[in-house]
Structure 1
Amino acid sequence: MTKKKLLLATLFFCAAFGQINAQTKNFNQPLADSLAKWVVVDQIAAKVPQGEYKLWPREKWDQYKDSIFSNHQQLLSAIFKKYGYLGYDQVGQKGSFHFWLMVQHCDKWPAFQQEVLEAMKVEVYSNNTDRKNFAYLTDRVNLNTGKKQIYATQVTYNVKICQAIPKPLADSLNVNKRRREMGMPPVEEYLNEMSKSHFEMNRANYEKQGILKPVLVPVPKGV
């Protein structure tokens, strides 16, 4: 995204931003629309390079990603300061998801993520946002601040066998109890889905190594 496009996006945001009184929490359609546009760009930066981006040198791609996440963090920070956490009441389920998803990618600003997480907790208690997303952001913040995750949402991969593995996890024996409280499936089921997805995204490379399928773990019954 060029500086000119970033500036235009910012100006569009500012115009939409001023249409709603900051003292109310009425549904803000212009803001929801802006979030929907930004998240498209966010997903381009967050995923493996596709299309023309695959031809870019690694340094150019990294600079592009950083510019997107940095610009979005500034926009999200301004939104958060004015409206607080964006729940269903202000931007709908999709808008709230888009806001959360972009905050997830603000890993270079853990203090900001932590601030958003604290505000999100209040909205979870009032059923104004998704508690599963709260679990994901909790783990993200913990890892970004040197702590262990507690819901096992963040994974790495054993690329020698194509298997998803949780990043550092606290109290692993009770992780499924915590996940169940947040409406999440057993960690074994989640890890298997991540392993399958990782294999499909990297199928060509794995098949060159003679790996024809991911390694899955048994899913306990009655968990």
Structure 2
Amino acid sequence: MKYCLLIFVFVCLSVAKSYAQYDTTLARQITEMAKADQWARHLLDSIRTHHYSPQKEEIVWDVIYAMDKKHNVHLWEIINRLQSYPDNILVGNKAAQDFWLLAQHQDYDTALQKEVLKHMKWAVDRQQAPAIPYAFLVDRVRLNTGQKQLYGTQYWKAADGKMYIPRPLEDSLNVNARRATLGMKPIEEELQQMNERYRNRLNQK
């Protein structure tokens, strides 16, 4: 009976500790930045798909660049203050994934992306951050620093413009084995879905 009571107390304390660590303000800050990020990029997708014109696209890109610069300051502040990734425990599952999304779009600041990646790996290894987004950031950082990607998450148009293909891969024969360790589907399946989803873009120059 005493043993069961001790287990119950331990579980209650663990749950209480998790709730005590949750940072509502930080979670809201991250989520709001991600909403702005996605609003601008969805607008860009809409222009490309339904109302394409180079002038409109250029205007939206100007908005995106300015927004990313603003977010950059906040992302650095969060990482420097925490000295860790804002994980599922601290900000919840959604905000933890939103933070990755924001870092993924900081291509002009690879130092920030590397710093986020370092802390994110620690959290992913402990199942406290999303694993598949981690693979996307690994590939993004590698490509941004002149290396080949590991997981095949980044694509570009083939030379004939008829389909999307993975950007250069390191050890391509074992890519699906690496993807499987993070719970990712085979690259062939991902590639098929990619081409179906963005078929309309293939006719754009």
Structure 2 unmatched runs, 5+: 1-19
Per-residue displacement from partner, 1:83-103 (whole Å, max 9, x unpaired)?
Answer: 221110111000001000010
Residues 49, 188 of structure 1: alpha-carbon distance in 2 compared, 3 angstrom cutoff: closer
Residues 49, 185 of structure 1: alpha-carbon distance in 2 compared, 3 angstrom cutoff: closer
* Residues matched between the structures, number: 179
TM-score computed with the length of structure 1 as normaliser: 0.73
The one-letter code matched in structure 2 to 1:79 is I
Whole-angstrom distance in 2 between the partners of 1:73 and 1:45: 16
Whole-angstrom distance in 1 between the partners of 2:148 and 2:66: 28
Aligned counterpart in structure 2 of residue 26 of structure 1, from 21, 24, 47:
21
Give matches, 1:2-41, under 5 Å.
26-41=21-36
Whole-angstrom distance in 1 between the partners of 2:143 and 2:63: 24
The one-letter code matched in structure 2 to 1:185 is K
1:43 aligns with 2:59: no
Name 1:165's counterpart in structure 2: 165
With a CA cutoff of 8 Å and minimum separation of 6, indicate the structure with the bigger relative contact order. Answer: 2
Give matches, 1:127-146, under 5 Å.
127-146=127-146
Name 2:3's counterpart in structure 1: none
Whole-angstrom distance in 2 between the partners of 1:127 and 1:149: 23
SS in 2 for 1:69: helix
Name 1:104's counterpart in structure 2: 104
Structure with greater helix share of residues? 2
Whole-angstrom distance in 2 between the partners of 1:73 and 1:159: 34
1:61 aligns with 2:60: yes
Residues 34, 189 of structure 1: alpha-carbon distance in 2 compared, 3 angstrom cutoff: same
Whole-angstrom distance in 1 between the partners of 2:112 and 2:31: 21
Name 1:185's counterpart in structure 2: 185
The one-letter code matched in structure 1 to 2:35 is V
The one-letter code matched in structure 2 to 1:128 is Q
Whole-angstrom distance in 2 between the partners of 1:49 and 1:175: 29
Structure 1 unmatched runs, 5+: 1-24, 207-223
Q: How far did 1:152 drift?
A: 0.2
Residues 161, 107 of structure 1: alpha-carbon distance in 2 compared, 3 angstrom cutoff: closer
Whole-angstrom distance in 2 between the partners of 1:92 and 1:35: 11
Percent identity, aligned pairs only, is: 34
TM-score computed with the length of structure 2 as normaliser: 0.80
- Contact 1:162-1:198 at 8 Å conserved across structures: no
SS in 1 for 2:73: helix
- Contact 1:46-1:105 at 8 Å conserved across structures: no
SS in 1 for 2:21: coil
Per-residue displacement from partner, 1:109-161 (whole Å, max 9, x unpaired)?
Answer: 01110111011111111110111111111000000011000100001123846
Name 1:12's counterpart in structure 2: none
SS in 2 for 1:156: strand
Task: Return 177-186 or 57-66, whichever deviates more.
Answer: 57-66
Whole-angstrom distance in 2 between the partners of 1:189 and 1:49: 23
Whole-angstrom distance in 2 between the partners of 1:180 and 1:152: 12
Name 1:73's counterpart in structure 2: 72
